[in-house]
Chain A
């Protein structure tokens, strides 16, 4: 070791100081707790709800509800991969489609994210969560000796019944399943081979339960109460050209007629999400009469999702060690784009805290859509900017209204499916196959919403407009849990 000459050391010091002159001034002793605006593990991205068949019985009709959370999960994360927050409660609500009042709820609660010892971790002495447990090699069965970490979950049903138990505000709480397994992430061909083809790319588009990959198949659970559930990593099924939209000068947004030629770039391409999903037999569901602005009198239910976290009591007076408070809702979603596009900034958090029964407070955002105002102000068009009762009927209260009497709707990949639903001629018994009647994977909600904004409230002439992205980057499965197989870490479509 040679000693650094003194003059060089001094120079290095001087350089260091010059570099950080600004940094040091005033930053002296402060290291605040973060004040976040993003909360990915609690960030609901999409709620899908549509009528289909039980995963293992094509004769039994069910309501599928698939919820995506945790946007932009990196398939090649490499260290821990995204997991469900173990402190949060992930809920699916069944509600009155007219009032938004919850009549039934399913709560998903997940096990410890970072166990440091068995049984949470089979082998604490490795950096690998997958591919090495008590054995080394590819994962063959979910939870086998090569899958070091498996996150499990429980599902609870809460109904407004209250006949037997009053412990939840006059509601009946029933644990439907416990210790349910989630599948591993798609680490890659060598660790999770059954997700992938010979080239190491994720295989999706299964048309039957038997054709699903083994990990997914092993983690679809039929519960004795009649429901079926799934929770785990999936591909992000949303598609929109957000990069092109943000970079307004990109001509690809302008290309083709009315933004329908598919030359945009899907900003969600190559990313995964976490999904939790349920199949509820139709005969287990309540049924409500409601009005649709497009299809008249309907029979069905309202659906929305939420994520809650426990509050905590910290008051000095209470020195109790146990201090978890009631659950506080931190995120909510029903219809696509409502809170993201229509609700003004100052009310977005407010929206997330409240329930659909309060949504009249937000009706003004649907009735007088700022989007239309902006368009007209900037470009001199004359889209209707007020009295949009058509939009109010879709968004207020903000629950997905699903007609449960239509029979099966067409799935993406099946003949007759249109990403535009009824605008594309895809109806079932006179009702749109997709959003705003429920929502299917593959429904092009950006184009449908923009078309509605541009064409309503009279819909005398339908002008279809969009963002030049018409399909997802991965084919969906046509069987529960429907969301596409998660992209592989090393070979996803984002990093070819």
Chain B
């Protein structure tokens, strides 16, 4: 009798400590409860019974990280952090928990700390693919694309899978290689993952890659397929909204965005929704979305979260509190000088009438040849203000030919500005504008 208990316990401990093993349980829900909630329930019970088993705490923390991904509820980062710390308290050399802490800091944009933990993990296990992934993530955010490439390459060589493929695909896209990026993101989807959300994320990204390069039909196909597989996923619904908006199916796009924001009210979807209300002339609904964005910001500040890039871009786009937009953008660019930060900084300078600085910043944003029509649109507007008509025309034409429907508000503005510039060419000689 006693011995059987004994064996069962041992087997539970042993089987339980294998993250990739079958004992981790069905990857798909047998019920309607999301797989991640099932995992949290099961692993919570396990940690209650085995308080001294570090692998149990790590597995629970991983499930919390996944939950944060699926709901955008960052409270789960703290719960994950506590569980990872618990594992490290039991065994300071626990590699998965050490990598886990790097993940938590990365999710919170604390890149220096993330790097520190990832390096600590690599001291314990020099062949840890996940730690290289996090080093690459941090390098990407910090705008060091060569370092990101090195880290991701190491990750790919250690373990080609959805994690390393999708990261590398994103890097290729940001550094201007859209074709190989889409090819590699497709690979990531094929490689698959345990949580449906993970492949859905990749499909959403692939759809946006196609959309950003004007390949509307391919984007539609990816979204359609993703909708049949994961119909209630934030990333898929957001991509569907973008595709529908590009088709000028605004009612459909609004529906997609509303469903996406009901799952995870992220800044990007609230803003996209507001823009569509503007375009469809529903000022009241648009203002309501802007109020949501502003309230998000107030809540962030109350919770000690400092300003972020998206907010700066939002304020600049809407001509609101422009000095604040600029100071946020400056601080963010100083903190992480990547191309997206450079673009937002350029736009904030532009809106504040500092066109020379805007031009220098947008040059940095364009340096990687990232296929993003917004960058080109901003470059065009900045150069128009500076009186460089030829450059302005070129950038605006490039923006519209890359993706004619890149943004429901900005794309028509780009077209109108381009037409104006063309008219100027015949009406008046090229001359520098007066401020």
Q: Which residues of B contact A349 (CB under 8 A)?
A: 127-129, 159
B337 at the interface (CB under 8 A from A): no
Nearest Cβ on chain B to A24's Cβ, whole angstroms: 5
Count of interface residues, chain B, beta-carbon cutoff 8 Å = 121
Known contacts A246-B16, A246-B46: A25-B288 contact under CB 8 Å: no
Nearest Cβ on chain A to B155's Cβ, whole angstroms: 10
Nearest Cβ on chain B to A379's Cβ, whole angstroms: 4
Residues 107-130 of A, flagged 1 when their CB comes within 8 A of B and 0 if not, give: 000000110100000000001000
Q: Which residues of B contact A72 (CB under 8 A)?
A: 22, 25-28
Known contacts A72-B26, A253-B5, A350-B127: A312-B160 contact under CB 8 Å: yes
Asked whether, in the complex, the Cβ of B96 is within 8 Å of the Cβ of A345, the reply is: yes
Known contacts A33-B167, A36-B163: A374-B198 contact under CB 8 Å: no
Asked whether, in the complex, the Cβ of A341 is within 8 Å of the Cβ of B310, the reply is: no
B371 at the interface (CB under 8 A from A): no
Residues 102-131 of B, flagged 1 when their CB comes within 8 A of A and 0 if not, give: 010011110000000000000011011110
Known contacts A87-B190, A311-B157: A450-B228 contact under CB 8 Å: no
Please report which residues of chain A, range 234-287, place their CB below 8 angstroms from some CB of chain B when the two chains form the complex. Answer: 238, 242, 244-248, 253-254, 258-259, 267-268, 271
Known contacts A27-B266, A28-B267: A248-B106 contact under CB 8 Å: no
B397 at the interface (CB under 8 A from A): no
Q: Which of A311, A314, A379, A446 contacts B2 (CB 8 A)?
A: A379
B62 at the interface (CB under 8 A from A): yes
Asked whether, in the complex, the Cβ of A315 is within 8 Å of the Cβ of B153, the reply is: yes
The segment from A151-159, A197-205, A217-225, A322-330 that touches chain B is: A322-330
Asked whether, in the complex, the Cβ of B300 is within 8 Å of the Cβ of A85, the reply is: no
Q: Which of B130, B192, B305 contacts A25 (CB 8 A)?
A: B305
A363 at the interface (CB under 8 A from B): no
Q: Which of A39, A244, A340 contacts B194 (CB 8 A)?
A: A39
Asked whether, in the complex, the Cβ of B4 is within 8 Å of the Cβ of A465, the reply is: yes
Q: Which residues of A contact B15 (CB under 8 A)?
A: 242, 245, 340-341
Asked whether, in the complex, the Cβ of A259 is within 8 Å of the Cβ of B8, the reply is: yes
A313 at the interface (CB under 8 A from B): yes
Nearest Cβ on chain B to A124's Cβ, whole angstroms: 10
Known contacts A28-B300, A35-B103: A20-B5 contact under CB 8 Å: no
Asked whether, in the complex, the Cβ of A31 is within 8 Å of the Cβ of B235, the reply is: yes
Residue of A with least CB distance to B204: A31
Q: Roughly how many angstroms separate A328 CA and B153 CA in the complex, as a whole number?
A: 13
Q: Roughly how many angstroms separate A375 CA and B187 CA in the complex, as a whole number?
A: 44
The segment from B175-183, B247-255, B374-382 that touches chain A is: B175-183
Q: Roughly how many angstroms separate A200 CA and B21 CA in the complex, as a whole number?
A: 31
Please report which residues of chain B, range 136-171, place their CB below 8 angstroms from some CB of chain A when the two chains form the complex. Answer: 137, 145-146, 149-150, 152-153, 156-163, 165-168, 170-171
Q: Which residues of B contact A32 (CB under 8 A)?
A: 69, 106-107, 137
Asked whether, in the complex, the Cβ of A30 is within 8 Å of the Cβ of B193, the reply is: no
Q: Roughly how many angstroms separate A74 CA and B188 CA in the complex, as a whole number?
A: 22
Q: Roughly how many angstroms separate A282 CA and B293 CA in the complex, as a whole number?
A: 71
Q: Which residues of B contact A9 (CB under 8 A)?
A: 288
Q: Roughly how many angstroms separate A259 CA and B17 CA in the complex, as a whole number?
A: 22
Asked whether, in the complex, the Cβ of A379 is within 8 Å of the Cβ of B5, the reply is: yes
Please report which residues of chain B, range 282-326, place their CB below 8 angstroms from some CB of chain A when the two chains form the complex. Answer: 288, 291-292, 295-296, 299-300, 303, 305, 308-311
A-B contact pairs, 22 of them (CB 8 A): A13-B295, A23-B75, A23-B265, A28-B266, A28-B300, A32-B69, A35-B133, A36-B193, A40-B193, A43-B20, A85-B192, A87-B190, A113-B190, A245-B11, A246-B42, A253-B4, A340-B14, A340-B23, A341-B14, A349-B127, A371-B10, A466-B7
Residue ranges of A at the interface with B (Cβ–Cβ < 8 Å): 9, 13, 16-17, 20-43, 45, 71-72, 74, 77, 79-80, 85-88, 113-114, 116, 127, 238, 242, 244-248, 253-254, 258-259, 267-268, 271, 309-316, 319, 321, 323, 325, 328, 330-331, 339-342, 345-346, 348-350, 352-353, 370-372, 374-375, 378-379, 381, 446, 450, 454, 463, 465-467, 494-495
A-B pairs with lowest CB-CB distance, top 3: A38-B194, A22-B75, A23-B73
